[in-house]
Amino acid sequence: MKRMINTDDLQLLPGYTIEVVEKDLNTPISIDITDKNEIIIGDAGILSGSGKVFILTSSGPKLIAEGFNPPLTGITYYNKNIYVAHRGTITRLGLDGGRKDILTGLPSFGDHHNNRVVFGADGKMYFGQGTATNSGVVGEDNHWLKKFPFFHDFPGATISLTGQNFQTKNVFAEGSREKIWTGSFSPFGVPVYPNEYIKGAVKASGSILRANEDGSQLELFAWGLRNPFGLKFDRFQRLFCTNHGIDVRGSRPVAESPDEFQWVRKGVWYGWPDFSGGEPITNPKFKPLGHQQPQFLLAKHPMTPPKPVATFRPHSAIMGFDFNIDPVFGEVDEVYLAEFGSEAPETTGGKKTPGVGHRVSKVNLSTGKMTNFLMNKSGKPASETRGGGIERPIDIVFGKQHEMYIVDFGFRKPFGTGEGYLPDTGVIWKVSRD
What is the residue type of 7? T
Q: What is the pLDDT of residues 389-427, one digit of tens each?
A: 999 999 999 999 999 999 999 999 876 556 789 999 999
Q: Rounded to whole angstroms, how far apart are CA atoms 212 and 198?
A: 28
Q: Rounded to whole angstroms, how far apart are CA atoms 61 and 53?
A: 9
Q: What is the pLDDT of residues 2-37, one digit of tens each?
A: 899 999 999 999 999 999 999 999 999 999 999 999
The DSSP-derived string for 365-427 is: TTT--EEEEEEETTSS-HHHHT-SS---EEEEEE-SSSEEEEEE--PBPPTTS-SSB-TT-EE
Q: What is the three-class DSSP state of 22?
A: strand
**This prediction's pTM:** 0.97
Find all residues with CB under 8 Å of 52, minimum gap 6, and list them: 42, 43, 45, 63, 65, 66, 68, 72
Partnered with residue 408 across adjacent β-strands are 393, 427
Q: How confident is the model at residue 78 (pLDDT cuts 50, 70, 90)?
A: very high
Percent of the chain with pLDDT over 90: 92
Find all residues with CB under 8 Å of 218, minimum gap 6, and list them: 103, 202, 203, 209, 210, 211
Peptide bond into 284 cis (omega under 30): no
Q: What is the pLDDT of residues 87-125, one digit of tens each?
A: 999 999 999 999 999 999 999 999 999 999 999 999 999
CATH architecture of 28-138+203-407: 6 Propeller (2.120)
Q: Whole-angstrom distance between the N-terminal and C-terminal Cα of the chain?
A: 33
Q: What is the three-class DSSP state of 8?
A: helix
Q: Rounded to whole angstroms, how far apart are CA atoms 238 and 263?
A: 7
